[in-house]
Structure 1
Amino acid sequence: MAQVRVSSIDAAVARVRDEMMPAVLAADGSVGLSMLVNRRSGRCIVTSAWRTAEAATAEERMRPMIDSAMIDSAAVGSEMPEVEDWEIAVLHRDHTSGPGAWVRVTWVHVEPDQSDRLVDLYRMVLLPQIAEFAGFCSASLLLDRPSGHAVSSVTFDSEDAMHSTRMLAAGVREYGAGHVDGEVLEVDELQLVLAHLRVPESV
């Protein structure tokens, strides 16, 4: 994740598309890459997926690619890009996203001993509700078990479809917060500008 000057977002997208994505897709064990941007705040999230934890090793494998594609004094803000490793705990895809897709991203923290409970709650209770949202494409839950941090990403066919589900999504978050010992840290809505993830379904 990187904070980019709003005026340089298109340049950052081009660098990830032209420099980082080919390197990731060519790497052993890669199953793709995606990029989300918030054109108001300048937040950019680049996600790569790997078949095994050994293939991922973010600090070793990803840092040189990010340095090449993202670190540019004309484009990147004062903070260095963050690189984090996540387990794909749940993934469900109704259909692949197309041009114009948007993603609602929710950052959550639970006590580490509640991680399995969160995964079960998301898979069995929250996901069936989310999958009924109009314009739903896919949803995933990423997890860092040692810290208890988790990220839910829900992809929609369009910005309008995503906006129309805000109240429903708030209700799902409230229900989830009431059934696991944790808290919602942040919610953001971002445009899906690069979509080349081919992660197998896991529900």
Structure 2
Amino acid sequence: MFARTTTVWGRPSSVDDGIANIRESVMPVVQKLHGFVGLSLLVDRNTGRCIATTSWQSEEAIRASAPLVREVRDRAAQILGGTMEVADWEIAVMHRHHESHEGARVRVTWVRIDPSRIEPGIEIFKDRVLPVLDELEGHCSTSLLINRDAARAVVSSAYDSVEALERHRGELDRLRDATTEETGADTVEECDFELAIAHLRVPELV
């Protein structure tokens, strides 16, 4: 399974217009494409940063989709009024404790990884991180995306509410620090987002 993230650093005042555009214009296009699995949208209303993620059944499908969605993707960026960055990822892990719903809170952590330690790192994530997260009240789901060429990874964990995420923030920080130390990864950035659209239908991958 593969995913494409489109990150737009837009105007905070345009976030609701951007959400509406993705619902009304982007989703009808991508839903018709071969190999499409689902779409989610994360937004930060304070900064205007938005991350749309589409998932695909195969590497062939994600490559074939690129020219077909370019126009609607560029239009979405224009509506948000900001710069855009597109990246493709392998979905290494997808685990759901229960379904996430719109309005949930998502903590996203970007890390730099040693290419020689990717596979052991994935196994450590499955065996030691996921069981801890599943014990946290309000934890919905967690994914691990890998870009082997760029030696980068992204961890996204969804929680039922802002309160649920805040309640566990200290424990999550300790878990992040212990995991990055054990896997030899470096945290690049970490941000919290609102889950504005929740239609990512990737099956369980653990």
**Of 86-95 and 63-72, the range deviating more from structure 2:** 63-72
Say whether 1:56 aligns with 2:56. Answer: no
Q: Which moved more, 1:173-182 or 1:133-142?
A: 173-182
Q: Is the 8 A contact 1:114 1:148 kept in 2?
A: no
Q: Structure 1 runs of 4+ off > 3 angstroms? A: none
Question: Structure 1, residues 135-180: CA drift from partner, whole Å, max 9, x if none?
Answer: 0110000000122100000011111111111101101111112201
Tell me which residue corresponds to 1:20.
26
Counterparts of 1:32 and 1:175, CA distance in 2: 32
Which of 31, 38, 42 aligns to 1:36? It is: 42
**Cα deviation, residue 102, structure 1:** 1.1
| Aligned-residue offset at 1:191 | 0.2
For residues 102 and 34 of structure 2, the distance between their equivalents in structure 1, rounded to whole angstroms, comes to: 28
Instruction: Give the corresponding residue for 2:121.
Output: 118
Please state whether the residue corresponding to 1:137 is helix, strand or coil.
strand
The match for 1:71 is: 78
After TM superposition, give the deviation of residue 63 of structure 1 in Å. 2.3
Relative to its length, the structure with more strand (as a share) is 2
Q: CA deviation at 1:194?
A: 0.4
Letter of the structure 1 residue corresponding to residue 109 of structure 2: T
Q: Which runs of 5+ in 2 are unaligned?
A: 1-6
Distance in 2 between the 1:97 and 1:17 partners?
17
Q: What amino acid sits opposite 1:69 in the alignment?
A: A
Q: Deviations along 1:5-34, whole A, 9 cap, x unmatched? A: 001110111111111011111211101100
For 1:4, the equivalent position in structure 2 comes to 10
TM-score normalised to structure 2 length: 0.92
Query: 1:131 pairs with 131, 134, 138, which one?
Result: 134
Change in Cα spacing, 1:71 to 1:135, as seen in structure 2 (3 Å) is same
Q: One-letter code of the match for 2:193?
A: L
Opposite residue 128 of structure 2, the aligned amino acid is V
Give the TM-score of the pair, scaled to structure 1. 0.94
Match for 1:195 among 165, 190, 198? 198
Cα distance in structure 1, aligned partners of 2:194 and 2:127: 27
How much identity, in percent, do the aligned residues show? 39
Unaligned runs of 5+ in 1: none
- What SS does the aligned partner of 2:100 have? coil
CA distance in 2, matches of 1:180, 1:61: 37
**Correspondence 1:184 to 2:190:** no
